[in-house]
Amino acid sequence: MNPPTTVIVLAAGVASRFIGAGHKLAQPLDDDGDAGAVLSVTLRNAIASRLPVLVVTTAELAPLARHQVAARDVMILPPLRIRGMGDSIAAGVAARADSAGWLVLPGDMPRVRPTTLQQVAQALQTHAVAYAQHRGRRGHPVGFAAELFSELVALTGDEGARRLVARYAAQAVDVDDPGVLIDIDTVQDLAALRATKGVSNSAAGWPPLR
């Protein structure tokens, strides 16, 4: 029997739209810092799903990731290998090749609930592709079954996995979780998330894999 579906947390991007001091994933999620950094909260939620977690990240953010997961579950990509989301997905899938499937979760989505990850993982038992959907809007995570391994490990650059989502009949998993639509691209996004305690009017929607 294959191991359970693995949550691949993507944390290797350069965050070019976040014009502020330091990387966006290292920013405190709340004003007083009690919640921890953005990446830390994302990882805590992923771990709470009780699914295996792999963080694909950079040397800069690796120490932050290791506060939440074991060193063996932190994959550091050298700068020359980071050309886009596709490279990160391919590296993560290849590193957990024996998984029953993979959930792709961007590190800048700290409001995705553990139960949402479980629901999308369950959908992969009967579908090649599944994604979380809240009130008719598609979001993250997006899951891929083991049968798509060879195509996932061939991804490169900024393509992400949108081509695969378009090619296969993707199953929407309706969840009562607005966090599937909320990511942090800019300083303003982070400020809005802090102010609304997780409910943002500028939530990100489809496509699910940028």
| Domain extent listing, the chain | 6-195
Is residue 50 a contact partner of residue 174, using CB atoms and an 8 Å limit?
A: no
- Say what the pLDDT of residue 208 is: 41
- Name the class of domain 6-195: alpha beta
- Say what the pLDDT of residue 204 is: 39
Q: Return the residue matching tokens 């691949």.
A: 8
Q: What is the CA radius of gyration of the chain?
A: 16
Neighbouring CB atoms inside 10 A of 197's CB total 9
What is the rounded CA–CA span in Å between residue 117 and residue 119?
Answer: 5
Q: Which amino acid is at 186?
A: T
Q: Return the residue matching tokens 């800019």.
A: 186
Structure-token pair, residue 43: 């990882």
- Say what the pLDDT of residue 134 is: 97
CA 93 to chain CA mean position, Å: 13
For the entire predicted model, the pTM comes to 0.90
- Say what the pLDDT of residue 84 is: 81
Please, what's the b/e burial string for 57-82 (b: 16 or more CB within 10 A of its CB; e: otherwise)?
bbeebbebbeebbeeebbbbbeeeeb
* pLDDT tens, per residue, the chain with 210 residues: 557 999 999 999 877 778 877 889 999 998 776 779 999 999 999 999 999 999 999 999 999 999 999 999 999 998 766 668 899 999 999 999 999 999 999 999 999 999 999 999 999 999 999 999 999 999 999 999 999 999 999 998 876 788 888 888 899 999 999 999 999 998 999 999 988 764 433 333 334 444
- Say what the pLDDT of residue 82 is: 63
- Say what the pLDDT of residue 200 is: 39
First to last CA, the chain: 32
Residues 6 or more apart whose CB falls under 8 angstroms from that of 2 comprise 98, 99, 100, 146
Q: Which amino acid is at 202?
A: S
CA 92 to chain CA mean position, Å: 11
Is residue 103 a contact partner of residue 42, using CB atoms and an 8 Å limit?
A: no
